[in-house]
Structure 1
Amino acid sequence: MLILFSSNLESIPAWLQLASVAAWLSLVILSAWGVHRFVKTDPEIVRKIVHIGTGNVILLAWWLHIPAIVGITASIVASAVTLLSYRFPILPGINSVGRRSFGTFFYAVSVGILIAWFWHIQQPYYAVIGILVMTWGDGLAALIGQRFGKHKYKVLGGQKSWEGSLTMALVSYLIISLILLSTQGNLWQTWIISLVVALVATGLETFSFLGIDNLTVPLGSAALAFVLTQLMAG
Structure 2
Amino acid sequence: MSNIFLNLETLYPLSLQIAPAAAWVGFIICVAWVVSRFPHSEPEIIRKIVHIGTGNVIVIAWWLDIPPFVGITASIFASIVTLLSYKFPILPGINSVGRHSLGTFFYAVSIGVLVAGFWHLHQPQYAVLGIMIMAWGDGLAALIGKRFGKHKYIIFGSQKSWEGSFTVTLVSYLICVTILLLTQGNIWQTWIISLIIALIATILEAFSFLGVDNLTVPIGSAVCAYMLTQLLSSY
TM-score under structure 2 normalisation? Answer: 0.92
Partner residue of 1:217? 217
Partner residue of 1:120? 120
Contact 2:85 2:97 in 1 (8 A): no
The one-letter code of the counterpart of 2:171 is V
Aligned pairs for 1:45-56 (under 5 A) are 45-56=45-56
Contact 1:44 1:97 in 2 (8 A): no
Cα distance in 2 for residues equivalent to 1:144 and 1:194: 22
Asked which structure has the greater CA Rg, the reply is 2
Question: Which segment drifts farther, 94-103 or 223-232?
Answer: 94-103
Query: Structure 1 stretches of 5 or more lacking a match?
Result: 1-11
Q: For residues 47-78 of structure 1, what are the alpha-carbon distances to aligned partners after superposition, in whole Å with 9 as ceiling and x for unaligned?
A: 10000111000000000010000000000000
Partner residue of 2:6? none
- Cα deviation for residue 118 of structure 1 reads 0.3
Cα distance in 2 for residues equivalent to 1:194 and 1:134: 15
Contact 1:141 1:165 in 2 (8 A): yes
Partner residue of 2:5? none
Contact 1:204 1:216 in 2 (8 A): yes
Question: Which segment drifts farther, 97-106 or 131-140?
Answer: 97-106
Aligned pairs for 1:48-197 (under 5 A) are 48-96=48-96, 100-197=100-197
Cα distance in 1 for residues equivalent to 2:39 and 2:199: 35
- Cα deviation for residue 87 of structure 1 reads 1.4
Specify the SS of the correspondent of 1:117. Answer: helix
- Cα deviation for residue 43 of structure 1 reads 1.4
Partner residue of 1:37? 37
- Cα deviation for residue 41 of structure 1 reads 2.3
TM-score under structure 1 normalisation? Answer: 0.92
Query: Structure 2 stretches of 5 or more lacking a match?
Result: 1-11
- Cα deviation for residue 16 of structure 1 reads 1.4
Cα distance in 2 for residues equivalent to 1:17 and 1:37: 32
Partner residue of 1:8? none
The one-letter code of the counterpart of 1:165 is S
Specify the SS of the correspondent of 2:94. Answer: helix
- Cα deviation for residue 92 of structure 1 reads 2.8
Contact 1:173 1:198 in 2 (8 A): yes
- Cα deviation for residue 45 of structure 1 reads 0.8
- Cα deviation for residue 91 of structure 1 reads 1.4
Cα distance in 1 for residues equivalent to 2:53 and 2:15: 21
The one-letter code of the counterpart of 1:200 is I
- Cα deviation for residue 111 of structure 1 reads 0.2
The one-letter code of the counterpart of 2:228 is L
- Cα deviation for residue 207 of structure 1 reads 0.3
Cα distance in 1 for residues equivalent to 2:134 and 2:185: 23
- Cα deviation for residue 13 of structure 1 reads 2.5
The size of the alignment, in residue pairs, is 223
Partner residue of 1:9? none
- Cα deviation for residue 99 of structure 1 reads 5.3
The one-letter code of the counterpart of 2:63 is W
Specify the SS of the correspondent of 2:160. Answer: strand
Cα RMSD (Å) of the superposition? 1.4
Contact 1:133 1:175 in 2 (8 A): yes
The one-letter code of the counterpart of 1:53 is G
Partner residue of 1:6? none
The one-letter code of the counterpart of 1:196 is I
Contact 2:86 2:99 in 1 (8 A): no
Contact 1:158 1:208 in 2 (8 A): yes
